[in-house]
Amino acid sequence: MKTNMIVAALTVCSLWGGIWGITYAQEKISDEEAMALVEKAGKLLEKKGDAALEMIGDPDGEFFMKDNALYVFVYDPECVILAHPYKPTLVGRSYQGKPDVRGKIFREELVEKALEEGNGWTYYSYQKPGENGIHQKKVFGKLFESEGKKYIVCAGVYID
């Protein structure tokens, strides 16, 4: 009986450690995956211009990884959403001046970093889908150009 309890306790500890390790690894990988997906979508925009927006915004397409909720979205320089596979109904809406839940005007910061520095991470607060409470999130944005148009391609990662 005592042996069974020890084995059960070790199993729980092992599983907890494994889960924590997987979560930590996924968080680290997610940064790289987010940047790689941004790069992939951006290269498509450079090649095809506006024609790529439909492919990037396709909820069943290659720019929405449903298994880990990683997806790209695209802003223009005025913070208008041009493509969004997770919420296609947002396309065409301007988010200029709209803050996160704590009042941070993060979209302009994201767009400005991309326009001025070429790329960058921006931090903000948001509600995770399917969860209660406010969580910290970061989004990577990078500037791409095609046919005289500027596109800020982005992907976000929850950090808590």
pLDDT tens figures, 113-125:
999 999 999 999 9
Domain assignment of residue 144, given as a range: 2-158
Domain count, the chain: 1
Q: What is the pLDDT of residue 45?
A: 99
CATH assignment of the domain containing 128: 3.30.450.20
pLDDT digits (tens, 9 = 90+) for 1-52: 554 444 344 333 433 333 333 333 334 446 999 999 999 999 999 999 999 9
What pLDDT, on the 0 to 100 scale, is given for residue 69?
78
SS3 call for 141 = strand
Instruction: Output the six-digit token pair for 123.
Output: 């931090």
Q: Can you tell me which residue has the tokens 């092992």?
A: 14
Mean pLDDT of the chain: 84
**Which pTM value belongs to this model?**
0.80
Q: Which helix (H) or strand (E) holds 13?
A: helix 2-48
